[in-house]
Structure 1
């Protein structure tokens, strides 16, 4: 393909706007030709200055816009399934921001629809797989130099939670990234989950059980613990330490700019995920564009999206019951093996 890949972006909110600007300014070999968002005024503001972009209130209109060759979904999770299935019906490759769908039943319907096509069209936006530090850790674990992985210790902190954020979202929204990262790093399915809750931080909104400790078990007997704390008050931090039989390796120690003034020295701390994972998002979208132009689909699959949803649902049940909860997965179609 010599011409740029013509992309329809569904959703022009925080994430969608970032991707639109990324495709326009950073990614090579692609251009945005259509955008859909119920708030067409917002969408028009986002694409101001980008030539040749049609704006639509309805996602289906954007999919059917002239010359659309691929779709990037960045709308709220409940809208994903309809757009994914519509893209499949139009034979359009898709990069879908996580979650694939908010529930495992919907995600399984997407998996079954794609498996019925006999080929992959969807990639799920688990961007940590494209982060340089995560890639180095994955390479190290796969090499076997440290021996068999025994534990992953994970930290996931935000400055503050957005309005309407619930205790359930700590698991099925925030920790979903650790769910996918753990499955990918260890090459194992997560089989059970336990959620422990300390007393809430005084900075947490009323009714939000924040922070929490989420403990996963894997199919081969490793353990993964995740501290999720979405009202830390000071910054966005993501860390992961792998403890293996022959050593350990840790990523996420903020190799950031150090500022020195007359008052002293301090290290800058990222304030949100778009800053911390900016390069990972760039690499993710570039890899998707490159593969799509070559007629291939790579990266996290619809099955990965389904598995993350199923594990998160078990996590919510564990959160609500206070007891260890098993993860139940459907049989994996041959397409994803």
Structure 2
């Protein structure tokens, strides 16, 4: 009998799927389930979750990043949040927590409960203030949050997925180019300041590509960067491409881009009024800026460029 049991166990197919491999599918299924129960579009729910993941990360044993403060979730019962409470109990004490998975308990650490509750709060606020963006601004008490989350929602809707992690090197590998770490170098035009990016030197007209999925947030002239484009991805990262010679056809503010899409070409524009060019050798200035939920700050893109270059 023991031998037979061992044989059966050996013959059973065993498939191991890591959390990393199916994380996107699990999360998107959660968003779609909450849409079905609340009516709030899945991409809106995904956008809220992505914003909080970007800022706070995720807690252990959770797929999502939505965190509703104990005082809002449990109301007057917030002093004892580890004790399980039913939804109707929380209602009695002005708690907003809801039971999203049908187990009878409103648990702020449960993904379905948290997403379901957040969706209901936003929908109620939206009915009062008139739009999803305004409801988001009120919920997070930050105007920028409304802008960012609305952009993420548009991205997810356009591409039909939250799996937008792919990256590309900004210049095609078959082109001639060179670069080194120039982060923090001194710059004198416009006053003493540091260099917030990496310069990639190449010939005039060398193609410049988007490194990420994103939305074109800004396009036009800047007296420092010349002809420049700013693209926001779903990770609160603003990708800045400057000193361009020109823009690709069809690239406008509000355009959706994906890794490898042509957005412009290398030039030497900038350091003066619109049209100024030739004050330095042609190159692409590439910068990265991160929004942390309170403000936006620049960080060194060089290590990322080296990684993306190796990957290609």
TM-score normalized with structure 1 length: 0.25
Higher strand share: 1
Highest relative contact order (Cα 8 Å, sep 6+), 1 or 2? 1
Q: Which has the larger radius of gyration?
A: 2
